[in-house]
Chain A
Amino acid sequence: GQNIDQPTEMTATEGAIVQINCTYQTSGFNGLFWYQQHAGEAPTFLSYNVLDGLEEKGRFSSFLSRSKGYSYLLLKELQMKDSASYLCAAMDSNYQLIWGAGTKLIIKP
């Protein structure tokens, strides 16, 4: 079956770095997405990886290893506004997104 695993909750300190891991199993693979979702709002796109390696975009970076079925989202210089849920989603061979349950990130001063 198709499955996405990511931690339920993580806590980090303002100014620090945090890495949110995601493992996936899908029927075919057409890329891995990371979205940020604040409570009561729609998700916003953060990154898309389809090739192995690290994609850096400002304070956020995303890494993909297709052979391991593994991705991570790296957040640097954490700010209080980064407190949100981070959703990992893999696109299968039918271009459907398989969503993880999300990781709730709590930032402490």
Chain B
Amino acid sequence: GAVVSQHPSWVICKSGTSVKIECRSLDFQATTMFWYRQFPKQSLMLMATSNEGSKATYEQGVEKDKFLINHASLTLSTLTVTSAHPEDSSFYICSARDMGLAGGGDTGELFFGEGSRLTVL
């Protein structure tokens, strides 16, 4: 089945530094990828929708200048957490929709990356 690879799985950084997380669709093209954040014991929260070749759409309350999203190709989206602070420590997960598996309309099956656990000291 379709695979989404996310890297790195774990990252520890100092406060004030920037961290880049990559999300790749390995055997399908994804015009749309989603970035989520999950705090402990809470549900996944959509941060932004990443669209290939255009600007990302951010959810309310998510700072677009802090969480930079780049979707430069049909198989790669990156999330950069700029000037990270301890409150940014979380589990970040990406997902991509395989439009080739759409059962009708343009609703394709959603596949998730392995997740990236960020710890900011």
Contact = CB atoms under 8 A, between A and B. Distances in A.
Chain B interface residue number, banded: 20 to 34
Nearest to A33: B110
A42 B46 contact: no
B104 interface: yes
Interface string B108-121: 01111111010000
Interface residues of A, number: 21
A50 B103 contact: yes
B106 interface: yes
Contacts of A48: 103, 109
Interface in B19-68: 34, 42-46, 49
Contact of A45 (B93, B105, B111): B111
Given A87-B44, A96-B46, A99-B44, A44 B112 contact: yes
Interface of A: 30-31, 33, 35, 40-45, 48, 50, 87, 91, 95-97, 99-102
Interface of B: 6, 34, 42-46, 49, 91, 93, 103-107, 109-115, 117
10 contacts: A30-B107, A35-B112, A42-B6, A42-B115, A43-B44, A45-B109, A48-B109, A91-B107, A95-B106, A96-B46
